[in-house]
Amino acid sequence: MPRPGKSSYSDQKPPYSYISLTAMAIQHSAEKMLPLSDIYKFIMERFPYYREHTQRWQNSLRHNLSFNDCFIKIPRRPDQPGKGSFWALHPDCGDMFENGSFLRRRKRFKVLRADHTHLHAGSAKGAPGAVPGGHLHPHHHHHAAAHHHHHPQPPQPPPPQPPPPPHMVHYAAAAAAASTSGFKHPFAIENIIGRDYKGVLQAGGLPLASVMHHLGYPVPGQLGNVVSSVWPHVGVMDSVAAATAAAAAAGVPMGPEYGAFGVPVKALCHSASQSLPAVPVPIKPTPALPPVAALPAALAVPAAAQQPPAPSTVCPAAAASPAVSLMEPTAPSAAESKGGSLHSVLVHS
DNA sequence: CGGTGTTTACTTAGCA
DNA sequence: TGCTAAGTAAACACCG
């Protein structure tokens, strides 16, 4: 059946995990960061399925934000009213769904705690280690502690999330470069969202594209007013087929009614943040990447200790140049949040 | 208080 | 089938 009527998409659960949905929402935002409420909004706007049982899925979503190292919290600026912090994607989380499945990643993205170097008694929240090789140690009694609001000292501000959106340009550029070079690996979501899915398609035929397509989900019109509907025009042809197939595979009965999702594709990086870890050293994901070592971060710790000096923190470049994938001058100091000084590791098999 | 965050613990489900 | 990622439920701390 081509079209089961109409309830098709509305009541079907989208083939995306909360992680992918959240990442999409974040990527979709201009600043690449969103407050929780906006993430909810984004999801609800395009996935009717999530207009119900909000209590349930939102709790799950929140759990995911806190639990997964791929999401980082960025404090709100003083002048920005509102409740919680902004959420962004960890710069090194790379392509979490590169295998094409938005339901299950090959490996969970985890940041490695800086080897026990806690200088701060704060004890940070625990970021359990990550474990590249295998399991994390479940027994770390996390001590709890948590809630200390991570920034004990709010000095101020160089607002990372600022108002003016002009900076993204860099990101965009980087992204562009990346795509140009055909190298894409920073967060797949991005792909998902649009951009070179085309290449992707051909690259491996991935279901990825398919899903993405699917992503568009309902009513194109709806998205219309949202942002851009990027890729509807594009891969429609095979993507549809692929999507269908993928959906089928996924057990998701989707219909062609899914429209396009629209997300700009600009950047993949976000200004990561302050709370961010400093220097996430990607041990790295892509096989192609040489172990760069680098980490100039050592010096880059100016005031950054707490805040990313400006959004310009550059993005992980991973996208742009494979060779140099890591830069991130963010400060390694704060060992507070999930990333204190941890190295991020993408454990890919 | 209610929204936001964290963290446990357990169940469900994908993938190799 | 086993390992592990993902989903769910829930207790609990905080902050505005």
Q: What is the pLDDT of residue A114?
A: 55
Q: How far apart are CA A86 and CA A77, in angstroms?
A: 10
**What's the sign of the alpha-carbon dihedral A231, A162, A297, A22?**
negative
Q: How far apart are CA A170 and CA A183, in angstroms?
A: 17
Task: Report CA(A85)–C1'(B6) in Å, whole number.
Answer: 14
Strand C lies under 7 A from the Cβ of residue A17? yes
Q: What is the pLDDT of residue A113?
A: 63
Read off the pLDDT of residues A4-55 as tens digits, 9 standing for 90 and up: 445 455 567 899 999 999 999 999 999 999 999 999 999 999 899 999 999 9
* Closest nucleotide relative to residue A338's CA, C1' based: B6
Q: How far apart are CA A232 and CA A247, in angstroms?
A: 17
Q: What is the pLDDT of residue A10?
A: 57
Q: What is the pLDDT of residue A58?
A: 97
What domains, with CATH codes, occur in chain A? 18-96 (1.10.10.10)
- The CB density around residue A66, as the number of other CB atoms within 10 Å, is 14
The residue that minimises its CA distance to C1' of B5 is A66
Q: How far apart are CA A219 and CA A196, in angstroms?
A: 22
- The CB density around residue A222, as the number of other CB atoms within 10 Å, is 18
Task: Give the 3-state secondary structure of residue A304.
Answer: helix
Q: How far apart are CA A46 and CA A59, in angstroms?
A: 19
Read off the pLDDT of residues A66-99 as tens digits, 9 standing for 90 and up: 999 999 999 988 788 888 999 999 988 877 777 6
Task: Give the 3-state secondary structure of residue A97.
Answer: coil
Task: Give the 3-state secondary structure of residue A10.
Answer: helix
Q: What is the pLDDT of residue A64?
A: 97
- Distance, C-alpha A148 to centroid of its chain: 25
- Distance, C-alpha A311 to centroid of its chain: 17
Q: How far apart are CA A190 and CA A203, in angstroms?
A: 16
Two structure tokens written together for A108: 């969970």
Whole-structure pTM over 0.85, yes or no? no
Residue ranges in chain A modelled with pLDDT below 50 = 2-5, 7, 115-342, 347-349
Q: What is the pLDDT of residue A72?
A: 95
Task: Report CA(A218)–C1'(C3) in Å, whole number.
Answer: 35
For residues A297, A302, A305, A310, the Cα torsion angle rounded to the nearest 10 degrees is -90
CB A208 within 8 A of CB A100: yes
